[in-house]
Structure 1
Amino acid sequence: MRFNWFWGFLGFLGFLGLTLHEPMYYAFFAFFLFFLEPVVRSRKK
């Protein structure tokens, strides 16, 4: 995956939002999980 650093950055923003309790970062976290789901599915096959 070429954009692995990009998704890692989004995941980091989401994790930062969880630790700081900042509602804005939950959007990044959900965005990260939404795009990570197909990747996990393709790797399990």
Structure 2
Amino acid sequence: MMTKNRNQHVVSRPRGWAMNPAGSDRASSIHETQREAIDRARDIARNQKGE
């Protein structure tokens, strides 16, 4: 099974920080702090071999 490489983007939102997969307008998760969003994005990127 081949996994699609998807980079993760952390963006500011009115009520926190969102993690969006590249090419998606919808957040896959929302976090209270930028650090939480970055840490989660890194975990997912590592698992999917993205950035």
What interval of TM-score do these two structures reach, taking the shorter chain for normalisation? 0.3 to 0.5
Larger radius of gyration: 1
The structure that is strand-richer by fraction is 2
Q: Larger relative contact order (C-alpha < 8 A, sep ≥ 6)?
A: 2
